[in-house]
Amino acid sequence: MDLFDKIAGLPGLHEQIVSAGRDPFGVCMDKMCSATEAIIQGRNVVLAGTNNYLGLTFDQDCVDAAHDALDRLGTGTTGSRIANGTYSEHRRLEDDIASFFGFASSMVFPTGYQANLGVISALAGPGDYILLDADCHACIYDGCRMTGATVIRFRHNCPEDLDKRLKRLDSKDTNKLIIVEGLYSMFGDIAPLAEFAEVKRRHKAYLYVDEAHSVGVFGEKGRGVAEHAGVLDDVDFVVGTFSKSLGSIGGFCASDHPKFPFLRFASRPYMFTASLSPSNVASVTTALGRLRSDPGLQETLWRNAHALYDRLSAFGLTLAAPPSPIIAVKIATQEQAVMYWNKLLQAGVYVNLAIPPGTPNSTSLLRCSASAAHTPEQIDWIAEAFGQVAEEMHAYEAQNAGRYLLRQSAE
């Protein structure tokens, strides 16, 4: 008996992946040069897997705001807001987020992961029903586990399946919380939120939308897919993160519900952890201001996303969803995806390798995220690297298919 028996298979799996070259899950950026470039093992690499959609991590205003906060407020808060106090900057950021969405209030958390844990676990409890899109992020699943509620998964992005499952609950006098995302992080597909909102209204359920990847990306004002679909008023809880478009770390939930602020006294992942550091709060507050005042950021992001998408689809690559800033290339096998990933890094492009169990339908993906900070030359560089590697991979596959045929005929 060994505590580590549970993960006994992992060293072998890790070795299998690493033996193809580098460790895709342990890449070290020796130096960050900008929002879109890093030095990795002495080589200059264009970053195409950052989630840095608006490219604000090196924005001068955001960096200056963080410096100023460090000087004025120190490096950390050293405690939770319940026990050790709130800084007025936390309050200001919460007010800004609430006003951005047009909701009455918001709460911020140290990460997006904790925002989901903290809100779901405080909202739902035994006797309640959570209706969960099957492709929701791991932290939403983890939040659901903390509730004691009955969790019913419905088919990804399928309002009809949700409707069918809710119908079965219509006769029950119970709370029903529907949880979906706006833009899904792996395939880059968006939720049909207008249809989900209609189902929600019909069954008198609550609607919770995680817009982690869609804030700053969708909607006229950058408020996400619900705004884009014209149903923000139907959303009871909008959740998001500061670690993508807002270029920092942290998470939030905003709501119009009058009792929402009392979740502060019910949410363990809010109460029993230290609050966001002053420099994070400052850079996020400034980034949110940039997002609100500069629609050009979103336009540049989409221009880059379309340019990359069009180039990759012209190579005949299989893309997982229609154009969005998440461009996921489907690769037939995990082994090929690992080879592909290594060759891309060799060619000076970093993308995310996404393999089961972290992906829907056991798919292997090379996941790119476009950024407003990518220059046209960088988009070209990324596309050309994909083209070159795709050719090498075709040659490799043809050779292997040949070997396979030879082996078969010898058998």
Q: Which residue lies nearer to ligand PMP by CB, 207 or 390?
A: 207
Q: Which residue is nearest to ligand PMP (CB)?
A: 112
* Smallest distance from ligand PMP to CB 53, Å: 12
* Smallest distance from ligand PMP to CB 141, Å: 11
Q: Which residue lies nearer to ligand PMP by CB, 131 or 385?
A: 131
* Smallest distance from ligand PMP to CB 307, Å: 24
Instruction: Give the C-alpha separation, 72 to 10, whole Å.
Output: 45
Q: Which residue lies nearer to ligand PMP by CB, 113 or 381?
A: 113
Q: Which residue lies nearer to ligand PMP by CB, 74 or 356?
A: 356
Q: Residue 122 is encoded by which pair of tokens?
A: 């405080």
* Smallest distance from ligand PMP to CB 170, Å: 29
CA neighbor of 375 nearest in space, from 29, 17, 47: 47
* Smallest distance from ligand PMP to CB 115, Å: 7
* Smallest distance from ligand PMP to CB 111, Å: 4
Instruction: Give the C-alpha separation, 347 to 352, whole Å.
Output: 15
Contact yes or no for 389/356 (Cβ under 8 A): no
Q: Tell me 175's DSSP state.
A: -
DSSP secondary structure of 231-293: -GGG-SEEEEESSSTT-SS-EEEEE--TTGGGGGGT-HHHHTSPPPPHHHHHHHHHHHHHHHH
* Smallest distance from ligand PMP to CB 327, Å: 16
Q: Which residue lies nearer to ligand PMP by CB, 65 or 212?
A: 212
Q: Which residue lies nearer to ligand PMP by CB, 51 or 311?
A: 51
Q: Which residue lies nearer to ligand PMP by CB, 284 or 389?
A: 284
Q: Which residue has the tokens 């959570």?
A: 130
DSSP secondary structure of 103-152: -SEEEEESSHHHHHHHHHHHH--TT-EEEEETT--HHHHHHHHTT-SEEE
Q: Which residue lies nearer to ligand PMP by CB, 135 or 236?
A: 135
* Smallest distance from ligand PMP to CB 169, Å: 25
Residues that bind ligand PMP (CB under 6 A): 111-113, 116, 137, 139, 181, 185, 210, 212-213, 241, 243, 251
Close Cβ partners of 14 (under 8 Å, ≥ 6 residues apart): 23, 25
* Smallest distance from ligand PMP to CB 334, Å: 21
Phi, psi of 350 (to 5 degrees): -100, 120
Q: Which residue lies nearer to ligand PMP by CB, 276 or 373?
A: 276
224 CB burial (10 A radius; 0-12, 13-18, 19+): buried
Phi, psi of 153 (to 5 degrees): -85, 140
Instruction: Give the C-alpha separation, 309 to 327, whole Å.
Output: 7
* Smallest distance from ligand PMP to CB 184, Å: 7
CA neighbor of 211 nearest in space, from 295, 100, 125: 100
Q: Which residue lies nearer to ligand PMP by CB, 146 or 169?
A: 146
* Smallest distance from ligand PMP to CB 8, Å: 28
* SS3 state of residue 160: helix
The sign of the torsion formed by the CA atoms of 262, 263, 268, 272 equals negative
Which helix (DSSP H) or strand (DSSP E) does residue 24 occupy?
Answer: none
Q: Is the peptide bond before 322 cis (omega within 30 degrees of 0)?
A: no
Q: Which residue lies nearer to ligand PMP by CB, 191 or 385?
A: 191
Instruction: Give the C-alpha separation, 51 to 57, whole Å.
Output: 11
DSSP secondary structure of 28-65: --SEE-SSSEEEETTEEEEE-----TT-GGG-HHHHHH
